[in-house]
Structure 1
């Protein structure tokens, strides 16, 4: 795996896994309709951390119902299905109620994309300040690393703390300490590194 890390931009070349291909297919579809940002566990997997995950957490902006329904219909045409037992209109109502919906390849449950509207200021920050990752010949968008680290520390499970440390070690040369401290303060967590 080859990686170049600069402030605000990452280039990554690697042999794609099935999970990577799934993510590229999902975000390729989503970005035809509206912006998105990937948050949580897949971010560390993308950069080489060996850990399992069943879902890819994706935040999308609050969009109009009609726009979402177009995405929903197109997803079904392209061989995806929604695991939630709802039609497109019902899925939109779930998003409005700040519930996540899950999309997977037809006939499969894992992996799936957990898609949600922003539920708090951190999700809105992730969308507004997302960073591009050039993955081979594709570009995907992830949450700012400082926010990822602070949020993982906030979640606090062993796996989340290991994720935070992994990202810290990988990005330590480009981390904006003021930004990381601000997020940590807002989340009420200490930075243990």
Structure 2
């Protein structure tokens, strides 16, 4: 049985995991082993929720980590068969400390890849601290709260981002928290875009 349901702050995804899901699940398990708090956000959340579109990157935010933790993660990733398609994983701490994302992918693969980034602004921090759970095929990963994802997508404004927001809003309109959604809409100053979304 396939289907997607938002229930008690859990996104239940009933389908076979795809390549992106498998990448996210495996990476999440490695981060959990080291104890790094993380959350998946933006485009991948829409795809996870059934939106049919392609993406090259799975965006993942992590809490700030020190140099030794970054080295431990880089070593574990290389041991487990990952590499940095753009910068070597040994550059992880330097890249993240500079506010730059670092790409992580299964060795020899460029796409899809994970785009790993330290939380930067209040919206990143809110995604991390208010993460909900997505369950895929009995596995769990943390994803950003859908209300914030919708408002953030509206703020990005590109066609694919608006379409992502429409998809999430239409699919989960009955189970979203209207007050939380409106709070993020105001904070991100996308009231006009949100009005258009609701009227669509």
TM-score by length of 1: 0.95
Q: Given the alignment of the two structures, is residue 79 of structure 1 paired with residue 68 of structure 2, yes or no?
A: no
Q: For residues 121-161 of structure 1, what are the alpha-carbon distances to aligned partners after superposition, in whole Å with 9 as ceiling and x for unaligned?
A: 00000000000011111001100000000000000011100
Residue 71 of structure 2 is matched in structure 1 by: 69
What value does the CA root-mean-square deviation take over the aligned residues? Answer: 1.2
1: CA distance, partners of 2:189 / 2:106 = 38
Gaps of 5+ in 1: none
**Closer/same/farther in 2, CA of residues 7 and 174 from structure 1, 3 Å limit:** farther
1: CA distance, partners of 2:79 / 2:7 = 38
2: CA distance, partners of 1:79 / 1:119 = 28
> Secondary structure of the equivalent of 2:176?
coil
Gaps of 5+ in 2: none
Residue 152 of structure 2 is matched in structure 1 by: 151
The number of equivalent residue pairs is 192
Residue 22 of structure 2 is matched in structure 1 by: 21
Residue 131 of structure 1 is matched in structure 2 by: 132
**Closer/same/farther in 2, CA of residues 175 and 87 from structure 1, 3 Å limit:** closer
Q: Given the alignment of the two structures, is residue 12 of structure 1 paired with residue 16 of structure 2, yes or no?
A: no
Residue 143 of structure 2 is matched in structure 1 by: 142
Residue 93 of structure 2 is matched in structure 1 by: 92
Instruction: After TM superposition, give the deviation of residue 180 of structure 1 in Å.
Output: 1.0
Q: Given the alignment of the two structures, is residue 169 of structure 1 paired with residue 135 of structure 2, yes or no?
A: no
Q: Given the alignment of the two structures, is residue 179 of structure 1 paired with residue 180 of structure 2, yes or no?
A: yes
2: CA distance, partners of 1:47 / 1:4 = 9
